[in-house]
Amino acid sequence: MDAAARRRATAAAMSTAAELDLAVDDGIVLSDSNRLVIRLTPCDVVARVAPITHFASVQREVDVVRQLAQVDGPVAALDARVEPRVFVRAGFEITMWAYLEPVRSRTVPPAEYAQALGRLHTGLRRIEVPAPHVMDRVAAVRRDVASRAVTPDLADTDRALLADTLRELGRSIVDRRAPEQLLHGEPHPGNVLATKDGPLFIDFENTAHGPVEYDLAWAPREVGQLRSDADHDLVGECRAVVLAIVAAHRWNRNDRHPSGRESGVAFLHALREGPPWPALDDVVW
């Protein structure tokens, strides 16, 4: 968000928390990308704030996490003091989450990561939430790549690379007819918290149906290798699609990711150099 929007979003979150009888006198920005994540103090609630025009369904994220918590899924939960719903204020959609103190001294080891992701997939098979298919997201990204209004700075050769990758590998993934289920949609390391209770997943705004290999393609390579039940050739194809999705987002004129175009160039390079395609966190810029 730009500075003005960030101020409005923070004010909306603080006002909403105050109306919910939560003690709040400050908002500390934890993340600022396509939506704002704010730690409200002293009540220690994490507010996630998105414009009402946000591309993803905030309500679906709430429904998924609420149901996963009921089946003991490894998720960062909504704050128990607040009704589990989406609050709308000043043009923003706001959700309230429990603050979890991160274990700052360690990253999540691959074995723990893989075990937690396996538990998450088990939990996702036990809940019922309407969600799109991963290929719906691929189709949306293909439209963005084709639109010079949405991706105006994308070079013609790079536009063709992304379009061809999304079309051809998207078709190949569908043709494999792998078993499908509800997925996280983006279980990359940035969406896994190392906590005293073990790894917990956050950010379910891209939840979708598809093969588990699509989720594994967002995770570190070592995590995918620990899943003996996965089709690793399919994981590889999904990695290329993931790289293309992320690259397209970085070249979107409305993208606000802190890594900006520098990472967009790096993801295009990684895509062009494959196969084999690297895992998302192996791409550097």
Whether residues 143 and 218 fall in one domain:
yes
104 in a domain, yes or no?
no
259 in a domain, yes or no?
yes
Per-residue pLDDT band for 33 (boundaries 50, 70, 90) equals confident
Range of the domain at 58: 3-98
Q: What percent of the chain has pLDDT over 90?
A: 90
Burial (CB count <10 Å: 0-12, 13-18, 19+), residue 11: middle
CATH code, 267: 3.90.1200.10
75 phi and psi angles, rounded to 5 deg: -130, 150
103 in a domain, yes or no?
no
Tens-digit pLDDT profile for residues 181-237? 999 999 999 999 999 999 999 999 999 999 999 999 999 999 999 999 999 999 999
Whether residues 118 and 246 fall in one domain:
yes
Whether residues 251 and 186 fall in one domain:
yes
Tens-digit pLDDT profile for residues 76-127? 999 999 999 999 999 999 999 999 988 876 789 999 999 999 999 999 999 9
Ranking 8-22, 55-69, 235-249 by mean pLDDT, the lowest is 55-69
Per-residue pLDDT band for 256 (boundaries 50, 70, 90) equals confident
CATH code, 56: 3.30.200.20
Boundary of a domain, candidates 98, 133, 153: 98
Q: Are 98 and 24 in contact (CB under 8 A)?
A: no
Whether residues 179 and 133 fall in one domain:
yes
Whether residues 267 and 179 fall in one domain:
yes
Whether residues 231 and 124 fall in one domain:
yes
Residue 54 is predicted with a pLDDT of 76
Residue 235 is predicted with a pLDDT of 98
pTM of the model: 0.95
Whole-number Å distance between alpha carbons of 51 and 34: 9
Whether residues 85 and 115 fall in one domain:
no
Whether residues 70 and 123 fall in one domain:
no
18 in a domain, yes or no?
yes
Q: How are beta strands 36-42 and 45-51 bridged, if at all?
A: antiparallel
Whether residues 182 and 81 fall in one domain:
no
212 in a domain, yes or no?
yes
Residue 40 is predicted with a pLDDT of 98
Whether residues 136 and 183 fall in one domain:
yes
Residue 105 is predicted with a pLDDT of 66
Residue 50 is predicted with a pLDDT of 94
Q: Provide the residue count of the chain.
A: 285
Question: What's the one-letter identity of residue 144?
Answer: D
133 in a domain, yes or no?
yes
Tens-digit pLDDT profile for residues 148-183? 999 999 999 999 999 999 999 999 999 999 999 999
Whether residues 93 and 119 fall in one domain:
no
Q: What percent of the chain has pLDDT over 70?
A: 99
Q: Which residues, other chains included, contact 194 with Cβ-Cβ below 8 Å and sequence gap of 6+?
A: 102, 103, 106, 107, 108
Residue 88 is predicted with a pLDDT of 97
How many distinct structural domains can be found in the chain? 2
Average pLDDT over residues 249-269: 94
Residue 210 is predicted with a pLDDT of 98
Q: Are 228 and 252 in contact (CB under 8 A)?
A: no
Whether residues 139 and 180 fall in one domain:
yes
HEC per residue, the chain? CCHHHHHHHHHHHHHHHHHCCCCEEEEEEEEECCCEEEEEEECCEEEEEEECCCCCCHHHHHHHHHHHHHCCCCECCECCCCCCCCEEECCEEEEEEECCCCCCCCCCCHHHHHHHHHHHHHHHHCCCCCCCEHHHHHHHHHHHHHCCCCCCCCCHHHHHHHHHHHHHHHHHHHHCCCCCEEECCCCCHHHEEEECCEEEECCCCCCEEECHHHHHCCCCHHHHHCCCCCCHHHHHHHHHHHHHHHHHHHCCCCCCCCCHHHHHHHHHHHHHHCCCCCCHHHCCC
50 in a domain, yes or no?
yes
Rg (CA), the chain: 19
